[in-house]
């Protein structure tokens, strides 16, 4: 009996959750034809896409409807991420999510606005009881939009297990999508896995589009770069399954069915991260790093050992949800071992164990790094360096390369030179491979170090931000007369540590200034909070180290 149970468990694992669960079938959340601009678990920067993106004919303002009975359990407003978003908890164990909305329906919009004024904040995360907004299937909840981190008008539609909050592929729930187009295979890769392995006589990966034979020796892994077009939609999306067959045996499989919100950063281990950082394209790798716990792996035996005289038939099969499949094949031919002269490991390099047992804390002069267990996906050599660039308040410390993938946030601490000790405007600057500088923020600690957390290996130094944000009024001026049909617009920017807070006031009373971060726009839709007659408008914008810009304008309201 135990043996039969084990076999059944393995069968279910290989079939994925689609075969294990019975999913309710929902109508579309929009009343226009469904075309997708993004698919579930599509590979993104530092994440997997948690839903599908439904195109809205290139415009905002399309009606969005609840797909099943339930209640509004959460409402979000943010200049980033999901923007204006509604979460509806249903009676069948699932929660639907509708993100990047332009506006909520009137009842929800009034509730949110009252909440924002009570809390004197634009951004909001509101959790609701069952009684506040009960919902029936087909109820109108808002309008499609482009808010938050959206790159164009669409509806981000997501479905989750209510209890675990794990997103599930929305196509399981009957979303009507026509698709007769096969995935597109754009490139293949073959990787030497360890120091004694070679591909075509070298210890470097081989990238190619079409080959009949690849010569190798030792432990070898593979990679594939692909996308998928869903029906007549021209967007380049992600496929549903990635499969690797070696001599007709399925050895590796990823199925884009479900994942938890603790998993998105695993994408940087799933892909060839160095290739992505250097070339911008994503190759899914069949080697699974020891600390990659991604649940979408169905099979994880994607490494083969090849010796002189061996021949291995290698075949990738890439499928979309509709069952369209593309394949790419070649033969891996074993050759004689090749001795490669390795670059000597410098004394400035540290061997860091991913389990935290070795070099989890490193100090170099006035620079400290602390890494938790599982920060790295695998044991790695990390090279360090010291330089003295101009315009910095410390030495510049190098710790690894930006092409090395990291899972967890790790701590970076730098002590400033005595001249700048305890300066409140200090921040930790990050220098990427091209020399571009960005802010990692940072907080001055009691021991004199500036401390922050990051997932980016590379170059770090302390700099000072003494420049206040720029506030530029766009569509009104001193002594203008306005009406309730006006929207007052202000451009706010900060090119150092970034915008930290933004507030608008009329006669010293807080106004709801809405922030569109991707367009650097702060705007106020004139309402009853601006009284008739003379008003003194004040705009206060602060950056991450406290530099503040204030603009004052006198306006008259009819």
SS3 state of residue 107: helix
Nearest Cα residue to 287 out of 304, 274, 275: 304
| pLDDT at residue 223 tops 70 | yes
Predicted pLDDT of residue 15: 53
Top pLDDT among 347 and 210 is at 210
Q: Confidence band (pLDDT; 50, 70, 90) for 19?
A: low
Which residue is listed with tokens 């990427």? 432
In contact, 371 and 354? CB cutoff 8 Å: no
Distance CA 199, CA 191 (A): 7
- Tens-digit pLDDT profile for residues 419-469: 999 899 999 999 998 889 999 999 999 999 999 999 999 999 999 999 999
Distance CA 78, CA 85 (A): 9
- φ/ψ of residue 270, rounded to 5: -60, -40
Q: What is the mean pLDDT of residues 506-516?
A: 98
Predicted pLDDT of residue 152: 97
Q: What is the mean pLDDT of residues 467-484?
A: 97
| pLDDT at residue 381 tops 80 | yes
- Tens-digit pLDDT profile for residues 23-34: 999 999 999 999
Nearest Cα residue to 28 out of 176, 155, 233, 232: 176
% of the chain residues with pLDDT over 70: 97
Q: What is the mean pLDDT of residues 401-408?
A: 97
Predicted pLDDT of residue 17: 65
- Tens-digit pLDDT profile for residues 108-156: 999 999 999 999 999 999 999 999 999 999 999 999 999 999 999 999 9
Neighbours of 362 (CB within 10 A): 15
Predicted pLDDT of residue 12: 42
How confident is the prediction for the chain on average, in pLDDT? 95
Predicted pLDDT of residue 531: 95
Order across the sheet with 450-454: list the strands: 361-364, 367-370, 410-414, 450-454, 443-444
Which residue stretches of 190-272 are H helix? 267-270
Q: What is the mean pLDDT of residues 351-357?
A: 97
| pLDDT at residue 11 tops 70 | no
Q: Could you give all domains of the chain from N- to C-terminal order, each with its CATH number? A: 26-173 (2.70.70.10), 184-334 (no CATH), 349-464 (2.60.220.30), 470-557 (2.60.40.10)
Predicted pLDDT of residue 345: 83
Predicted pLDDT of residue 196: 94
Q: What is the mean pLDDT of residues 38-58?
A: 98
Predicted pLDDT of residue 3: 40
Distance CA 472, CA 506 (A): 18
Here the tokens at position 60 are: 């905002």
Predicted pLDDT of residue 342: 80
Distance CA 92, CA 70 (A): 9
Length of the chain: 558
| pLDDT at residue 6 tops 50 | no
Q: Confidence band (pLDDT; 50, 70, 90) for 8?
A: very low
| pLDDT at residue 241 tops 80 | yes
In contact, 216 and 306? CB cutoff 8 Å: yes
**Residue 33 Cα distances to 142, 153, 232, 293, 523, angstroms:** 18, 15, 12, 37, 33
Bridge partners of 488?
A: 524
- Tens-digit pLDDT profile for residues 68-117: 999 999 999 999 999 999 999 999 999 999 999 999 999 999 999 999 99
Predicted pLDDT of residue 344: 82
Predicted pLDDT of residue 297: 98
SS3 state of residue 307: coil
Q: Confidence band (pLDDT; 50, 70, 90) for 16?
A: low
| Cα end-to-end span (Å), the chain | 82
Q: Confidence band (pLDDT; 50, 70, 90) for 5?
A: very low
In contact, 201 and 215? CB cutoff 8 Å: yes
Q: What is the mean pLDDT of residues 199-208?
A: 97
% of the chain residues with pLDDT over 90: 94
| pLDDT at residue 1 tops 50 | no
DSSP class of residue 519 equals G
Predicted pLDDT of residue 347: 87
- Beta strand segments in 83-212, E: 84-90, 94-101, 103-104, 124-127, 134-135, 140-143, 154-161, 167-168, 184-192, 198-199, 206-208
Q: What is the mean pLDDT of residues 319-346?
A: 93
SS3 state of residue 116: helix
- pTM for this model (two decimals): 0.94
């Amino acid at each position: 009996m135990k043996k039969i149970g084990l076999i059944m468990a393995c069968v279910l694992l290989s079939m994925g959750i689609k075969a294990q669960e019975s999913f309710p079938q929902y109508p579309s959340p929009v009343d226009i034809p469904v075309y997708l601009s993004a698919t579930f678990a599509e590979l993104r920067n530092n994440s997997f896409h948690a839903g599908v993106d439904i195109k809205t004919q290139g415009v905002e303002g399309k009606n969005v409807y609840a797909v099943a009975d339930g209640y509004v359990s959460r409402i979000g407003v943010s200049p980033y991420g999901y923007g204006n978003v509604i979460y509806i908890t249903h009676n069948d164990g699932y929660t639907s999510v509708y993100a990047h909305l332009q506006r909520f329906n009137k009842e929800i919009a009034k509730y949110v606005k009252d909440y924002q004024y009570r809390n004197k904040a634009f951004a909001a995360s509101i959790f609701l009881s069952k009684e506040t907004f009960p919902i029936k299937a087909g109820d109108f909840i808002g309008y499609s939009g482009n808010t938050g981190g959206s790159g164009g008008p669409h509806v981000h539609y997501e479905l989750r297990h209510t209890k675990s909050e794990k997103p599930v592929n929305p196509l399981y729930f009957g979303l009507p999508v026509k698709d007769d187009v096969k995935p597109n295979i754009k490139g293949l890769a073959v990787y030497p896995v360890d120091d004694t392995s070679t591909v075509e006589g070298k210890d470097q990966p081989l990238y190619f589009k079409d080959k009949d034979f690849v010569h190798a020796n030792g432990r070898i892994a593979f990679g594939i770069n692909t996308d998928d077009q869903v029906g007549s939609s021209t967007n380049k999306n992600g496929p549903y399954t990635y499969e690797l067959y070696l001599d007709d045996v399925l050895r590796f499989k990823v199925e884009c069915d479900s994942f938890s919100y603790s998993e998105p950063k695993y994408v940087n281990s799933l892909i060839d991260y160095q290739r992505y950082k250097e070339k911008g394209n994503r190759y899914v790798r069949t080697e699974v790093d020891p600390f990659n716990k991604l649940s979408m792996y169905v099979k994880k035996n994607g490494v083969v050992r090849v010796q002189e005289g061996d021949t291995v038939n290698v075949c990738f099969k890439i499928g979309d949800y509709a069952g369209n499949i593309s394949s790419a094949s070649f033969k891996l031919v074993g050759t004689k071992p090749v001795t490669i002269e390795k670059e000597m490991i410098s004394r400035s390099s540290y061997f860091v164990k991913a389990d935290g047992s070795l070099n989890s804390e490193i100090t170099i002069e006035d620079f400290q790094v602390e890494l938790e267990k599982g920060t790295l996906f695998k044991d790695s050599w990390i090279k360090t360096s010291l330089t003295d660039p101009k315009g910095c308040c410390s030495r510049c410390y190098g710790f690894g390369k930006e092409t090395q993938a990291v899972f967890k946030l790790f701590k970076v601490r730098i002590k400033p030179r005595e001249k700048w000790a305890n300066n409140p405007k200090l921040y930790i600057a990050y220098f990427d491979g091209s020399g571009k500088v960005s802010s990692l923020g940072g907080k001055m600690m009691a021991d004199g170090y500036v401390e922050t957390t990051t997932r980016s290996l590379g170059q770090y130094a302390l700099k000072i931000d003494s420049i206040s944000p720029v506030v530029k009024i766009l569509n009104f001026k001193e002594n203008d007369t306005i009406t309730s049909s006006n929207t007052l617009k202000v451009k706010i920017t900060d090119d150092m540590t970034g915008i930290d807070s933004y507030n608008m006031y009329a006669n010293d009373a807080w106004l709801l200034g809405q922030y569109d971060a991707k367009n650097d726009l702060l705007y106020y839709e004139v309402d009853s909070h601006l009284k008739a007659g003379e008003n003194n408008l004040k705009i206060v914008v602060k950056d991450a180290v406290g530099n503040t810009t204030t603009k004052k304008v006198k306006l008259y309201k009819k």
